[in-house]
Structure 1
Amino acid sequence: MSDVLDRFIKYCAVPSQSNPLTAEKVPSTPEQFDIANVIAQDLRELGAEDVTVDEHAYVTAHWPASEGCEDLPCLGFCCHIDTAWQSVGNPVHPEVKHYEGGELRIGTDRDGREVVVSPETNPQLANMAGWDIVTTDGTSLLGGDDKAGDAMVVSLLARLKADPSLPHPRLALSFVPDEEIGHGAALLDLKEFGADFGYTIDGGPLGEFCYETFNAAEVNVHARGLSCHTGTAKGMMVNASELIMRFHQMLPAEQRPEFTEGYDGFFYLERMSGDCESASADYIIRDHDQAKVEQRKRVMCHAAKLLNVQMGEEYVTIDIHDQYHNLADVVTRPEYAHLIENARAAYASIGQEMTCIPMRGGTDGSQLSFRGFPCANLSACYYNAHGVREFVPVPELEAMVDMLVDLVGRYAVPQK
């Protein structure tokens, strides 16, 4: 196996899901320390400097500049070590399959059903006949989001070590926990990190580039009720679960994720639970336009207020927190144009046209850019993330390491 493939499979086999229900602590799950320590050990073996795993499972390190580039600005890379919580993620059995065309057969899920990827849902498969592709055995997600990115960065360092003649500035490297639950790089010490600008590696197919993300907010809705015997409930019972359902029905159904695309925003019900006396629902709201996010907040607050008016007192409460903002507000400033143009040129160096997409999600860069570390998002080459149909093509995985070698070389000269 190639260096990056070997690392990728090793990282995927270490379960490290985050958990939104324990998000009050960082990391939200102890398993994230396991992958943090594996990556840190690989960094140490390569000779990276300042390798640290802190009390929150943040892995940070530096790589010295090549000769003559010591005075150039430090270039940063950031990936995340957690995997998605929405699907089964433990244990993970990564496999390399040789794909000959047609349906990509992954395996069987835990209920014995066959897991396949169809060219109809993934037309990219038409160009992958004859390729090796990494999947699981069908019983879990793979974790290419974002362990492919982790493997690419570590393999970049291996390339630089093997060929000291490759030009590059000093590199700052971070591998952070809990990105999948909106925390991400919130605790990254940017002063110690020391990078002036850089990239996250947390995107989809090869050539994908993102400098636009959603603005994001989290909404927690709680309803209280009044329980009594169902036989004598008339005029007395207040069913909290029914109130949550009524609240949900007051939101525009056509603005749910399954009916939106492109620049469309949405309301998404992540989870709900409850009984007669107490019920709750957790939502996220997303939009590329912050003004539309604010409008969505008002819609939800108005729905809660209207229910309380109908009930005659306050039975429904709502709590809203901003999570991150559209990184385009920072990255599109003229002084950071090199982040886009250098990425375009580096993709071209491997024969790949860069495709800019408005990301329907966020990356660590969504908050880092507003904290003083402007960073756009590069391909991690995963498909169908967050589920058992996830896969990563080996040729794309390897090509991205070539792209990163070219990219760091473009920062071996002063930027205009």
Structure 2
Amino acid sequence: MTKYENLIPRFLKYVKTETRSNEDSTTIPSAPNEVTFLHELEQELNELGLSEVNYNQDNAYVTALLPSNLDKKVPTIGFLAHIDTADFNAVGVNPQFVENYDGKSVIQLDDKGEFVLDPAEFPSLKKYAGHTLITTDGSTLLGADDKSGVAEIMTMLSYLLANPEIKHGDLKVGFGPDEEIGTGADKFDVPGFHADFAYTVDGGPLGQLEYETFSAAAFKLHIQGKNVHPSGAKGIMVNAIQLGVDFQAAFPKDETPETTDGREGYYHVLSFNGTVEEVDLDYIIRDFDQTGLEARKQFVVDLVDRMNAAYKEPRLTLKMWDQYQNMIDVMKDHMDVVQLAERAMEALDIKPDEEPVRGGTDGSKISFMGLPTPNIFAGGENMHGRYEYVSTQVMEQAVDVLLKISELNVSEN
């Protein structure tokens, strides 16, 4: 078989299965479609001939082992990917192919031309001259985050199984739910996974190698107003919408996702819903420094207290929680894991891109659980929306990197 056989057919099959996670759910996984898809992956792993294939009822991870074919012991590597997609329409994903893209043309996504990929707006397109791109049809996201990672890991496994002369140590794989809502790795079983280190295959463009993430928190704010007829509202009405507008207006206008980059943190309002009577807002808070994150959290607490003080009874109710920490706090003591991925990429003439990721991965939590887990590229661009796309060539290069990591793990130990 060829090295990349079934890579793209797998990917297309995966993205056409709807697996959007649900932040409001209390179950694991958060959505029934995730369960269905995970069992499909379980079946595929069994059909490929993997060992120890298991669906964990407690954490919804599907795990499996490709046993070593060596006569010596080398470290066990884990490869992980998540199967859920972000909070954007994921029903009826209809991938489109752009063959031999020229790196400069505008790509029309939908029939009406309402949604386009324009290099003037998305300059990342310019680096894909000569590539075959897979895009959306403008009505959904694509799901390359992270079904490209799932397809790449599966393709690596199938290639090694079909070519037993290729030497490798024990390789563990895991596919999990709910990364997009920040809960997927909460119950990951590190001792039961039996790996010495791991990689999430959940990054973006070619060469991404991430071992520093945001530290993250989130909060929900409920505002209770008092609605009376406008004709007699003076001194009585409390307009929850206006309080919500005032609350949002109090945040620094230059500390939002659309006004920051690099190592700058932000506050981000995700939703604002309600009426004069009551309003609910959802936010996330991000900072690379834990001290900075704590200061941002305190800013929110102080703002709520200050606004509540203007009323006889509290009108704003705050619920805040931490989501994950910057994984550099763990990875700084395990840079050998990062360096192995660096050497694998460099051996394939891929330049590692080690900029801190303005986001987080399941590897953040898993690293703090005791399994060092940096993140490597899977190929997706413009993730979480209708402008998402991926290069088939970059997906193939991701498979190459996984295989090279395994190869170097053998030759260097």
Asked whether the two chains share a fold, i.e. TM above 0.5, the reply is: yes
Aligned CA distance change for structure 1 residues 298 and 20 (closer, same or farther; 3 Å) = same
Q: How does 1:251-330 map to 2 (within 5 A)?
A: 251-330=251-330
After superposition, what is the alpha-carbon deviation per residue over 1:360-382, rounded to whole angstroms, capped at 9, x for unaligned? 00000110000111110000111
RMSD: 1.7
TM-score (norm 1): 0.94
The aligned counterpart of 2:150 is 150
Q: How does 1:13-412 map to 2 (within 5 A)?
A: 13-22=16-25, 24-55=26-57, 57-69=60-72, 71-85=73-87, 87-101=88-102, 102-108=104-110, 112-333=112-333, 336-412=334-410
After superposition, what is the alpha-carbon deviation per residue over 1:149-169, rounded to whole angstroms, capped at 9, x for unaligned? 000111111111122222222
TM-score (norm 2): 0.95
> In structure 1, how many angstroms separate the alpha carbons of the residues matched to 2:390 and 2:69?
31
State the one-letter code of the partner of 1:79: A
Query: How much does 1:414 deviate?
Result: 6.5
> In structure 2, how many angstroms separate the alpha carbons of the residues matched to 1:116 and 1:30?
33
> In structure 2, how many angstroms separate the alpha carbons of the residues matched to 1:136 and 1:52?
33
> Aligned with 2:120: secondary structure?
coil
> In structure 2, how many angstroms separate the alpha carbons of the residues matched to 1:173 and 1:291?
35
> Aligned with 2:191: secondary structure?
helix
**What is the aligned length?**
408
State the one-letter code of the partner of 1:26: I
State the one-letter code of the partner of 1:184: G
Aligned CA distance change for structure 1 residues 122 and 278 (closer, same or farther; 3 Å) = closer
State the one-letter code of the partner of 2:51: E
Query: How much does 1:413 deviate?
Result: 5.4
Query: How much does 1:21 deviate?
Result: 2.5
CA contact (8 A) 2:214 2:359 kept: yes
> Aligned with 1:37: secondary structure?
helix
> In structure 2, how many angstroms separate the alpha carbons of the residues matched to 1:351 and 1:77?
22
Aligned CA distance change for structure 1 residues 404 and 174 (closer, same or farther; 3 Å) = same
Query: How much does 1:129 deviate?
Result: 2.6
> In structure 1, how many angstroms separate the alpha carbons of the residues matched to 2:259 and 2:195?
39
> In structure 1, how many angstroms separate the alpha carbons of the residues matched to 2:108 and 2:165?
41
> In structure 2, how many angstroms separate the alpha carbons of the residues matched to 1:107 and 1:119?
14
CA contact (8 A) 2:109 2:117 kept: no
CA contact (8 A) 1:168 1:410 kept: no
> In structure 2, how many angstroms separate the alpha carbons of the residues matched to 1:342 and 1:124?
27
State the one-letter code of the partner of 2:7: V
Query: How much does 1:404 deviate?
Result: 0.9
CA contact (8 A) 1:72 1:413 kept: no
CA contact (8 A) 1:62 1:170 kept: yes
Aligned CA distance change for structure 1 residues 165 and 117 (closer, same or farther; 3 Å) = same
Query: How much does 1:340 deviate?
Result: 1.4
Query: How much does 1:104 deviate?
Result: 4.7
State the one-letter code of the partner of 1:17: R
CA contact (8 A) 1:198 1:374 kept: yes
> Which has the larger displacement, 374-383 or 112-121?
112-121
> Aligned with 1:120: secondary structure?
coil
> Aligned with 2:309: secondary structure?
helix
Query: How much does 1:122 deviate?
Result: 3.4
> In structure 1, how many angstroms separate the alpha carbons of the residues matched to 2:372 and 2:138?
37
- Identical aligned residues as a percent: 37
After superposition, what is the alpha-carbon deviation per residue over 1:72-107, rounded to whole angstroms, capped at 9, x for unaligned? 33211111000111x221111123320332225242
